[in-house]
């Protein structure tokens, strides 16, 4: 049975999903098989990046699936070493070619790298790709409120999405409020906190038991109810299905709040003001 994952509209009216599949580390033939299993199971939003080295695999899985291209939303990302106007255009074109799917649905700046200070020009290059039709939606990843405000001010364009570290240990309430104010969709990376001790937290176990679901499903449902799109990664078709099957139950307000109270900080030192990736 294929699970139907609901869709929402981005600020540019393009469709987006309430939950997607992370693909970091899904490479080679095994990676293609895992991504393909995800699509067969109902995932329609796929998250890749130049730096994951698996854009080819994602494209291949989509082609093999036989699903109508217009039903699939593929996200990829411009890496730090491709920052700059011309570099971003070349990067997006190369990703489009490697994916081989006729267009990129959502292109993100992977990390802002503020010391390099080229993210505004990078975004302008991505807007040129959007005008050309190579890319449908443009967004960012790992941006702070200050960086978003500057981008909007200097380009006049509000990114459609900001993909950030977000899970019950790091719920990002202030950033989410900024996104809501500006019509930016929040997307959660490492939504299961990379299978850390989060899934064994007593509060999550108790809530899972009450609803007859698993701890992962409680965490992913929490993302959906706080208005963020989680992109859990799993190589395993059974866990992929478990993760996608979160639209048949609802957490009570006090359960959502109790999960948010697990807040303690980032998983590792991925502070976008200081952490850089190239």
Question: Which residues participate in catalysis according to the annotation?
Answer: 52
Task: Give the shortest CB-228-to-ligand NAP separation in angstroms.
Answer: 12
Scanning 84-92, 95-103, 116-124, 189-197 for contacts with ligand NAP by CB under 6 A, the matching segment is 189-197
* Contact status: 233 vs ligand NAP (CB under 6 A): yes
- Let me know: does 76 contact 85? Beta carbons within 8 Å: no
- Residue 24 or 253: which CB sits closer to ligand NAP? 24
Distance of CA 149 to the CA centre of its chain: 20
Burial of 77 (0-12, 13-18, 19+ CB in 10 A): buried
78-86, 97-105, 190-198, 250-258 -> range binding ligand NAP (CB under 6 A) = 190-198
Question: Chain centroid to CA 270: how far?
Answer: 16
Nearest by Cα to 259 from 234, 211, 271 = 211
Of residues 52, 160, 159, the one with CA closest to residue 99: 52
Alpha-carbon gap, residue 54 to 139, rounded angstroms: 20
Rounded Cα gap, residues 215 and 206, in angstroms: 9
For residue 275, state whether it binds ligand NAP (rule: CB under 6 A): no
Subset of 236-265 contacting ligand NAP (CB under 6 A): 236, 239, 242-243
Residue number with CB closer to ligand NAP (81 or 195): 195
List the structure tokens of 238: 């059974």
Nearer to ligand NAP, 151 or 231 (CB): 231
Rule CB under 6 A: say whether 195 interacts with ligand NAP: yes
Q: Which one of residues 141, 144, 186, 229 is an interface residue with ligand NAP (CB under 6 A)?
A: 141
Residues that bind ligand NAP (CB under 6 A): 22-24, 47, 110, 141-142, 163, 189-195, 216, 231-236, 239, 242-243
């Amino acid at each position: 049975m294929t699970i139907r994952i609901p869709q929402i509209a981005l600020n540019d009216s393009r469709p987006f999903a309430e939950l997607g599949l992370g693909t970091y580390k899904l490479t080679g033939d095994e990676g293609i098989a895992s991504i393909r299993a995800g699509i067969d199971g109902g995932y329609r939003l796929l998250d890749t990046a130049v730096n994951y080295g698996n854009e080819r695999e994602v494209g291949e899985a989509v082609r093999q699936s036989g699903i109508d291209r217009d039903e699939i939303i593929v996200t990829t990302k411009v890496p730090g070493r491709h920052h700059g106007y011309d570099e971003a255009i070349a990067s997006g074109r190369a990703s489009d070619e490697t994916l081989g799917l006729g267009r990129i649905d959502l292109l993100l700046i992977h990390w802002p790298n503020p010391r390099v200070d080229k993210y505004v020009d990078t975004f302008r290059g991505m807007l040129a790709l959007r005008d050309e039709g190579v890319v449908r939606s443009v967004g960012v990843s790992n941006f702070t409120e200050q960086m978003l405000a500057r981008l909007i001010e200097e380009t006049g364009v509000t990114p459609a999405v900001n993909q950030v570290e977000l899970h019950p240990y790091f719920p990002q309430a202030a950033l989410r409020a900024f996104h809501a104010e500006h019509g930016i969709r929040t997307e959660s990376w490492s939504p299961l906190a990379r299978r850390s001790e989060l899934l064994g937290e007593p509060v999550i176990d108790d809530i899972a038991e009450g609803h007859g679901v698993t701890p992962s499903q409680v965490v992913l449902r929490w993302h959906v109810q706080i208005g963020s799109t989680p992109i859990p990664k799993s190589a395993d078709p059974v866990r992929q299905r478990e993760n996608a099957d979160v639209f048949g139950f609802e957490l009570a307000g006090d359960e959502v709040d109790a999960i948010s109270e697990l807040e303690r900080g980032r998983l590792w030192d991925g502070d976008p003001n200081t952490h850089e990736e190239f």
